[in-house]
Amino acid sequence: MDKPHEECGVLGLWSPEPLPVADLLQLGLFALQHRGQEAAGICVSNGKDLVIEKDLGLVTQVFDEARMQRLRIQGANLGIGHTRYSTTGSNLRFNAQPLNVRSSKGILAIAHNGNFVNALQIRQQLLEHGAVFQTTNDTEVMINLIARYARLNLVEATARAMRELTGGFSVVLMDRQTVLALRDGNGVRPLVIGRLSNGGWVFASEPPALALMGASFVRDVQPGELVWVESGELRSMQVLEPHPTPCAFEWIYFARADATLDGIPTHPARIRMGEVLAQEAPAVADLVVPVPDSGIGAAIGYSRASGIPFDYGLHKNPYAGRTFIQPTQEMRDLKVRLKLAATPVVAGRRVVLVDDSIVRGTTSGRIVQLLREAGAAEVHVRISSPPIKFPCYYGIDTAARKELVASTHSVEQIRQLIGADSLAFLSESGVRQAIGGPVCLACFNGQYPAGQPEEEVRKEALEQA
C-alpha cells in the first residue's frame, strides 16, 4: 500500500534473576511488529554467554522453535530485541539487528529506531582511523563510536556518542551485565520504561509491548536522556538539552491505537484529527468510510463532528499480509484488490473516504476506483494529515521527494489524479490542535528540528561509502 513505511521497534529487558528472557522479548516484538516487518532479532545474555539470533522476515518467521531453543540459555537475565524496516541500509540479512561488536568493553549489542543524519560523515571519519564496518546501516556507526572510547566506561562512552550524533533516534544497548536505553534530544522517536513485578526493567518503543511482557508502564524516556540499570536500580543522565518535537506521524499513523506516547493517547488524538478535519473541510455526503485500518480513528472523529453516519465501506483482507507482486501496472492494481474490497453499503451513496496520508497517490486513486465500481455516487477524500512534501530523515521511509505527489502537484491536481469529487487535507495547525503538544512536522513543511543531512540520503548511501 502507498504509505510511509514503518520505522523500527526496539526492546530491552533486565532482570535481577533468571527469566525466560528470549520468550518475553519474542512476545514484546509481536506488539512491535507493525513498526518493522522486514527483519527481526533477539540478543540475550546470562552475564557470561551472549547469543544473538536474527534474520529477514516477520517475528513468527524468524523465531522458529530451533532459534528459540538456541536463545534459551541457562540463567539468562537480560536481552534486547528489534523489528526492522530499512530506512538506512538495504534489506539484507547482514543489516538485521541487534548488531554486535567485540570491543575493549567486551561484546556490545545494539538495536536502533530512527536515523542519524550525520552518519555518513562520522562513518568516513571512523574509516580514516581504521574502523571496519560489517553492515551498511547507520546503527553500526554508533556502536563503533562507543567502542572507540576505550578509556571511558560504557555509560560515559554512550553519552559521548550521543553528543556526536544528530537526528531522530531511540536506542537500546547491552553488554553481558546491563542494558542501556537512550533517546535523541528532540524525542523524535518514542521510547518508554516499564517495571517487572520482580524488580526488573523493560524498555520499549511503545507501551503495548510492556503489557505483553508483564511489565507496568513507568514513564517515557525523556528527550536527550540516557538510562541504564545499575545494581538493580534505574539510573539516569540528561545528556542532551531537551527540545521536544516528537514525530507527528506516531499519532497520525505509526503507533498502535492502544499506545500512549509522551502522555498523549494515540486513538483519541486520531479521533480529534477527524473532528478538526470535519470542521476545516466539510462535505455533503451520506456516509463516512475509513480506509482500514489507518483511517478508522479519523473517520470516527469526522463522523461524530459532521453528523454523517460511519460505516465500513471497505473490507480489508486479514490474510493478505505483506505481498510482493511484480511491479507492472496491472499487477499493482490487483495487489490493491487483494487487500481491499468495497462493500455494498456504498452503492448509490455519497461517500466521504477518510485516510491518514497520501504519499505517491497511486493507491488512493485505486481505492476511489473501487468505490465507484461498487456504485458510490460521489467520493470525497479527506486526509487527516497535511500534504507530505518533504522526505523524513528520522527513520520513516517516505520515499524520495521527487516521488511525493504533493511536492510536485497542487491539491486540485492530486484530486484529478486520484479521481475524487473533492479532496482536502488537515492543516498543520489542525495536527497540533489534535495532538495537543509540540511535534515534528518536517515532512509537511521542510523544517527539520533535529537537523538534516547535507544532501538527501538514500538507503544505499552507506553502501557506497
Catalytic machinery residues: 8
Any bridge partners for residue 111, and if so which? 172
- Classify 241 as helix, strand or coil: coil
Side chain identity, residue 331? M
Spell out the residues 6+ positions from residue 413 whose beta carbon is closer than 8 angstroms to its own: none
The β-bridge relationship of strands 264-265 and 260-261 is antiparallel
The β-bridge relationship of strands 350-355 and 378-383 is parallel
Cβ atoms < 10 Å from Cβ of 197: 8
Q: Which of 385, 370, 393 is nearest to 458 (CA)?
A: 393
Q: How many residues does the chain have?
A: 465
Integer Cα distance of 91 and 340 in angstroms? 26
440 is in an annotated binding site: yes
Cα 49 versus chain centre, distance:
31
410 CB burial (10 A radius; 0-12, 13-18, 19+): exposed
Spell out the residues 6+ positions from residue 149 whose beta carbon is closer than 8 angstroms to its own: 156, 157, 160, 161
Q: Which of 113, 144, 137, 127 is nearest to 34 (CA)?
A: 113
43 is in an annotated binding site: no
Integer Cα distance of 242 and 222 in angstroms? 8
* Exposure class string for 39-72: b at 16+ Cβ within 10 A, else e: bbbbbbbbeeebbbbbeebbbeebbeeebbeebe
- Classify 26 as helix, strand or coil: helix
333 is in an annotated binding site: no
Strands annotated E in 39-152: 39-45, 50-56, 78-84, 99-103, 106-116
356 is in an annotated binding site: yes
45 is in an annotated binding site: no
* Binding site members for Mg(2+): 294, 355-356
* Binding site members: 247, 294, 355-356, 392, 440, 443
* Binding site members for [4Fe-4S] cluster: 247, 392, 440, 443
